[in-house]
Amino acid sequence: MTDAQVVVHPTKQSLADAAAARLVVAVLDAQAARGVAHVSMTGGSMGSAIVRSVTQAPGRDAVDWSGVHVWWGDERYLPAGDPDRNDTQNDEAGLSTLGLDPANVHRVPGPDTSGSPEESAAAYSATVRSAGAGAFDVMVLGVGPDGHIASLFPGHPASGTTDAIAIAVHDSPKPPPTRVSLTVECLERSREVWFLVAGADKADAVRRGVGGAPFETTPAAHVHGEERTLWLVDAAAASALPGRGDRG
């Protein structure tokens, strides 16, 4: 387990731009060390913001994007192309313009290609194993106001699942109710874990996450990178933190 470092940026846009620059460097370092890079993305407004900033980052052309594997920490169990899917939102933000090899963009199967969310989770787990993603280079996670990460919600019976890579999530407290999520155990198989959080409505969740609140109330407090754990937040999201972290 690594100690978490908090880096505070003035605005949501400066956070997205700085995180994008970090991501480009992390991908370059991974490719230099291992030839490929495995990056897991997140949905929501910050997930789209970092993708948008990556497309405009000065160093993006230094990356061999055909050697980047893209994953998602969770996905809504909806058909391919549905606007509420994380991958659709990331595509529309510019992910599809980076020059990725489509075979390396690992999408969670939806009801159009799988018979159930359990079948989807099993297929996604098999893809993680077969692609050799024993350790993701960067795991980018959003955090909900309730402290959830991916589709692991406080107090939800699926959230504490162990001995699995991906699981089906039913009756999610946040719509849509049916989802597929990587487990905490899998999320932690990451060299670096980055929590990307903006907005005053997330301030208490950030405080609890950084402070190590119980898993039952704040799953975000219990995922750590093998080498580094970063809370990359804007000033509003950091407003409940004592000391306000390190300026980025």
Write down the mean pLDDT value for the chain.
95
Separate counts of helices (H) and strands (E) for the chain: 6, 10
The residues near 33 (Cβ < 8 Å, ≥ 6 apart) are none
Instruction: Please state the φ and ψ torsions of residue 71, each to the nearest 5 degrees.
Output: -130, 175
Please say if the pLDDT value at position 133 is more than 90: no
- Crossing angle of helices 44-56 and 12-34, in 10° steps, is 70
Residue 163: predicted pLDDT: 86
pLDDT band at 135 (very low <50, low <70, confident <90, very high): confident
Please say if the pLDDT value at position 247 is more than 60: no
Tell me if 197 sits within 8 A of 141, measured CB to CB.
no
Instruction: Please state the φ and ψ torsions of residue 230, each to the nearest 5 degrees.
Output: -120, 135
Residue 244: predicted pLDDT: 63
Averaged pLDDT, 22-32: 97
Point out which residues pair with 37 in neighbouring strands: 68
In the numeric block, the tokens 């605005």 are attached to 11
pLDDT band at 1 (very low <50, low <70, confident <90, very high): low
Please say if the pLDDT value at position 245 is more than 60: no
Q: Name the DSSP class of 75.
A: E
Of 95-99, 129-133, 175-179, 212-216, the range with the lowest mean pLDDT is 129-133
Please say if the pLDDT value at position 40 is more than 60: yes
Percent of the chain with pLDDT over 70: 96
Q: Which CATH number fits domain 4-241: 3.20.20.80, 3.30.710.10, 3.30.230.70, 3.40.50.1360?
A: 3.40.50.1360
SS3 (DSSP) at 141:
strand
Distance CA 23, CA 59 (A): 10
Look up the pTM and report it.
Answer: 0.95
> Mind listing the pLDDT tens digit for each residue in 77-98?
999 999 999 999 999 999 999 9
Distance CA 194, CA 196 (A): 6
Domain ranges of the chain: 4-241
> Mind listing the pLDDT tens digit for each residue in 142-192?
999 999 999 999 999 999 898 899 999 999 999 999 999 999 999 999 999
